[in-house]
Chains A and B, each alone.
Chain A
Amino acid sequence: MIGNLLFHVLYPFSRYINSRLAETSGNAVTPAVVKATTDWDGASLTVSLLPSQTTLVHHSGETKKRVEKEKKHAPKTDMESHEGPRQDADSEITEVSVLQRDAGNPNEDSDKKQDSEDGCSSTVDCAGLEAEQLKSLQTQSHVQEEKLTAVEQIQIQTSQSPAGSSEHSCSAEGQLHTPSKKNLQTLAETVSEISECWDEYTLLSGEETYNTASAPQLTLSSLPSGTQAHLQCVEEHEEQTCWHFPHGPGLTQEIQCKPWEFPALSYYLPMEPAEQLEVIWRVWKELSDCNAAVERIPFQFSDGSMDFTVMSYNILAQDLLELNQYLYKHCPLEVLDWNYRYNLLVEEIKKWTPDILCLQEVQENHYREQLHPALVEMGYSCIYKCRTGTKTDGCAVCYRSKRFAEVSFTKLEFFRSETGLLNRHNVGIVLLLRPLVAQGAALKESGPPLCLANTHLLFNPRRGDVKLAQLAIMLAEIDAVVKSCKVKGEHCNVVLCGDFNSLPNTPLYQLIVTGELYYQGLPAWMVSGQEDLSYKPSCHRLSAPLLPGSLGITDSCQYTSVNSLKAGKCRYSHDFMLQLRFCPAACSRPPDLVLIPGVTDLAPDASKPNHYPQRFRDILQHRLNLESVYKHVCPDVDRPEVTTLHSEVGATVDYIFYTPKRTCPSHQKPGEKFPGEGLKLTGYLSLLPEDMLWSMNGLPNQIFPSDHLSLLARFQLDLNIS
């Protein structure tokens, strides 16, 4: 009560001081402020892994190090007795962080830094234990420190304080068991300690406590904008994110921290082998607004809808890895070992247990001997298609047989000997599934069918034409599946995923998401955008018609046979009719055609197909209405996401596309016509920016077993459509 009162009285005052603080430079900090922050420092210096903390250490430099080294030894033994009961519970986490710390900084700086960080941690301990001592120590340190450092410390506290919710159970004391060198890391997590410190202070002197309490607000306005943003970021994260796998305290902050707040990347601690350590590098993003606090029940059929997850993962075939070793020179040898990678892979799949799993670069012998048995054991049914020719890898689609029933599937081979264009050995799988719904003890097929397509398009950056043709085959097959459902009066949802070997917003990508592409004159390398080959004097350009007639696929990415006599109707698409324009039968002049000069005296000329703009023929189209799950920019840090990374490339080339719910049909009957059609994206596993991956030593590493990241999305399917 009194405290409250005091807070309200003192808050404006502290604001005032704060503004003074902001006005004046570090040298002019008033004693009162210094004192307030001193107390606070005791508690909040626990922050360790945060970038701002690193900054602090960086800036405070030698002086502080020395000061704190002096204090280092005092608190340890005392703490043990004080916080004894908590130690056991926390020790595990402590170890984890120790390992993490261990893994850290291979460079020389690390020792120095550790020292100084240790210093910080001991300060904390002091704070928790003997306030008097702390005070004197802190004062001492502050006297010796530059004023600038003090200000920085304030900032750190502030940025840390919102994260100080009690969800973190690890205590600073726990760490004291561990060798002092490693203490600091764990301290990062001990935000709960703050409140304990407050308690202590209250005993001592109410005023001080409230000074401390007001510190966060106090410093807010004086924070540099970067820190504020970070603060905000942490707050937001606490509101919205839903963690999907167990994680240690403090890791949340770790993920949230912005890479650019690191003074140098080397300060960000790369990982060394540490199996016990579960670091959450990738965050699950909830998108569904209505059920923000979704409890993930495996079988969720709330009000006629069903949630399911789809993972797409290029797992890097061992043969290809060995063939292209130069791409993985940055990796320690052990992470390139197949069995090592395999274990990580299976762990990752187990962790997420996606309902549908689309794998690329699955080496056939590994699939047969290891992966398939393991997946079957996890409850998956699998379809595998090995690449043709001499290739040893292929694509696999696996679905949990408790969630989906298979209707049909097609294994596609993109190699067509009769065409010059499709001379590459890539494959795809198109699978038609039907959701299974639990009815009592039995599972029953229910709801609209789901067409699932998985492919791995040609890598060669120079052969965009081949990629487009391969994609056209894929889209034509999906179209046929969708049409086969339509004939039965059912709407078929589509999920198309895989490694497309094309960057976002390139022509190939545009074709998928916008449904059309004008390709006449397009340089072939530009289709995928993997490399800028514009410097090359002669580059192959695309020209119409792109798809050879023998392929049997129209420019609308549909099988020509679909257009011919169906249900007694002779319906032909525009593109189909155009394909026959210069067929031999059409080029001879009809004998009964009267010659009228200026009217019927034109000679067909295939080399000049049109007198009017070319673009109306040089188009690839499809009608599938696809959207990408990922938006290709990390929302928190505003940088490009990457799905693959090795020594030459870091880029997005993997995608999950899906048919989204039509929000508002433009027809007269809004919402009536397609009530349950389309999929609703309710969440996805965030990707990482390139620099963050490099800070983990690139890919593959001890956490991610492939040179690609897995893509994971959760969709909601409406079961109530007729």
Chain B
Amino acid sequence: MRYAFNESLKDDDSGDHDQDQSSPKDSETIKIEDDEKEQNTTKKKMVVPGAGEHPLQYNYTFWYSRRTPGRPASTQSYEQNIKQIGSFASVEQFWRFYSHMIRPGDLTGHSDFHLFKEGIKPMWEDDANKMGGKWIIRLRKGLASRCWENLILAMLGEQFMVGEEICGAVVSVRFQEDIISIWNKTASDQGTTARIRDTLRRVLNLPPNTIMEYKTHTDSIKYVCLLSLLFSLHLLL
């Protein structure tokens, strides 16, 4: 994986590629996991832009997850439920994947799409995420497809202007509402989070009364732990 990063640096030739959101150790672990899952495709993981294509600042990976409703997601089950769809390095490659994927608004059940920088897993525990947080926007049904597209186009097109702070974005299709969120690395960096919020407002064309909230992942972890605990207790009793 580290090798792959170096390669991308060479290819991109942008000189601005000092991204280190994945520590060596982190890359290692991912690699191990990836190897475990799909050993034969590991070599192809680090995608490069095709000739004449428009390179993205970072490579990204699409993920898809579907949860069985009724049970709170323990970390374990979450990791098992989530699937990688594919990675891309250019605008053209992004559209190749995106165009073949169902729009979030048309997804059925309890499903999520995740789009994260290559090398960052869409989990709180990932090194890039563990100090981070996310902006959450709850949408009434019918808005998710458009908002999701606007959000990821802004993210891929580097419209947020917060350096390397962005980790990825998630759209969660739920029963009565849909939720979109964008994750960043440093929850305590208020300048960054404010900037992300303002950009979101601009690019999403949200209805004016839409509520936006920021959640740190540590809070989320605590909350879920509490829930799990309660759930276990409930089972025990």
Contacts and interface: CB of A to CB of B under 8 A. Distances in A.
B is bound to A: yes
Given A580-B91, A583-B95, A568 B86 contact: no
A581 B99 contact: yes
A183 B205 CA distance: 69
A600 B16 contact: no
A247 to B, nearest CB: 52
A574 B155 CA distance: 10
A1 interface: no
A592 B158 contact: no
Contact of A580 (B44, B92, B203): B92
B95 A581 contact: yes
Contacts of B205: 616
A583 B92 contact: yes
Interface stretch (B74-82, B101-109, B120-128, B209-217): B101-109
A565 interface: yes
B105 to A, nearest CB: 7
Nearest to A586: B95
A611 B145 contact: yes
Contacts of A593: 85-86, 97, 100
Interface string B176-214: 000000000000000000000000000101000000000
B156 interface: yes
A603 B101 CA distance: 8
Given A568-B15, A569-B16, A592 B99 contact: no
Contact of A603 (B92, B96, B100, B150): B100
A583 B54 CA distance: 12
Nearest to B66: A599
B153 interface: yes
Chain A interface size, under 10 / 10 to 19 / 20 to 34 / 35 or more: 35 or more
B146 A598 contact: no
A569 B44 CA distance: 25
A601 B106 CA distance: 12
Contact of B157 (A576, A583, A600, A616): A576
A618 to B, nearest CB: 13
A11 to B, nearest CB: 59
A320 interface: no
A588 B100 CA distance: 9
Interface string A669-680: 000000000000
Nearest to A584: B92
Nearest to A604: B99
Given A576-B157, A611-B105, A616-B205, A602 B99 contact: yes
A574 B153 contact: yes
B113 to A, nearest CB: 9
B141 to A, nearest CB: 12
A600 B158 CA distance: 25
B91 to A, nearest CB: 5
Nearest to A592: B86
A368 interface: no
Contacts of A569: 14, 16, 57, 158
Interface string B11-55: 000111000000000000000000000000100100000100111
A616 B150 CA distance: 10
Give the residue among B16, B54, B158 with the most A Cβ atoms within 10 A. Answer: B54
Q: Give the dominant DSSP class at A's interface.
A: loop
Contacts of A585: 50, 53, 92-93, 95-96
A613 interface: yes
Given A572-B158, A589-B100, A604-B100, A599 B64 contact: yes
Contacts of B159: 571, 573-574
A587 B105 CA distance: 21
A570 interface: yes
A485 B154 CA distance: 25
Interface residues of B, number: 44
B43 to A, nearest CB: 12
Contacts of A565: 14, 55
B56 interface: yes
B16 A568 contact: yes
Contacts of B157: 571-574, 576-577
Contacts of B56: 570
A28 interface: no
Contact of A578 (B15, B86, B105, B153): B153
B100 A572 contact: no
Contacts of B158: 569-572
Contacts of B103: 602, 611-612
B163 to A, nearest CB: 11
A564 interface: yes
Contacts of A290: none
Contacts of B44: 592
A602 B203 contact: no
Given A585-B92, A601-B100, A612-B146, A596 B83 contact: yes
A580 B99 CA distance: 11
B54 A590 contact: no
Nearest to A571: B158
A203 interface: no
B102 A580 contact: no
A235 B178 CA distance: 64
Given A570-B54, A572-B54, A577 B153 contact: yes
Interface in A543-584: 564-565, 568-574, 576-578, 580-583
A487 interface: no
B92 A602 contact: no
Contacts of B86: 590, 592-593
A592 B153 CA distance: 22
Given A574-B157, A585-B96, 20 more contacts: A565-B55, A568-B14, A570-B14, A570-B57, A572-B157, A574-B159, A574-B203, A577-B157, A585-B50, A586-B95, A586-B99, A589-B100, A593-B86, A600-B85, A600-B102, A602-B101, A602-B102, A603-B99, A611-B103, A611-B105
Which 3 pairs between the two chains have the least Cβ-Cβ distance? Answer: A586-B95, A604-B99, A572-B157
5 contacts: A565-B55, A570-B14, A585-B95, A596-B64, A598-B108
